Amino acid sequence: MKRRNFLQWFGLGGLMVNLPTGLVAMLSGCKASVAEGFRKVGSIAELDEKGFFFQEYFTANPLLVVRQPKTPNTLTAVDPICTHQGCVVNWQKEKGAFVCPCHGAVFSPEGKVLQGPADRDLPTYPVELRGQEIWVSSR
């Protein structure tokens, strides 16, 4: 590590140690949410406006949240990267499925493979509805 980078990091650490406790608590957010690994990603209004909620950077990959067609109060959060060759799948509400635009793989609203060429399900994330807010855990 270069000397300049070390001093920058060391200075930032000193700043954090000297911050008033209330400010540190405010910056760290809700302890329960952080401990559970959940974070707010959007709102029901945003979801209902488009029929899905997409976040480009959730973990190392994007996030796609949809309502279950048969049980609209249930939300599903998936990593929308197709397990076949890495294209981003689209939510097609009229079909009630995720469809890969590259090779036609189809996934259920729960992320299960319905039609190849993909042979692995889409990874899913735990999702909660808290009031009008959508919370998703990367764990």
Q: What tens digit of pLDDT does each residue of 82-130 get? A: 999 889 999 998 899 999 999 999 999 999 999 989 999 999 999 998 9
- For residue 131, CA distances in Å to 28, 69, 82 come to 22, 20, 31
Instruction: Classify the C-alpha dihedral 106-112-88-38 as positive or negative.
Output: positive
Residue 24 pLDDT level (bands cut at 50, 70, 90):
very low
Torsion of Cα atoms, 65 then 71 then 72 then 73, to 10°: -90
Two structure tokens written together for 4: 């300049």
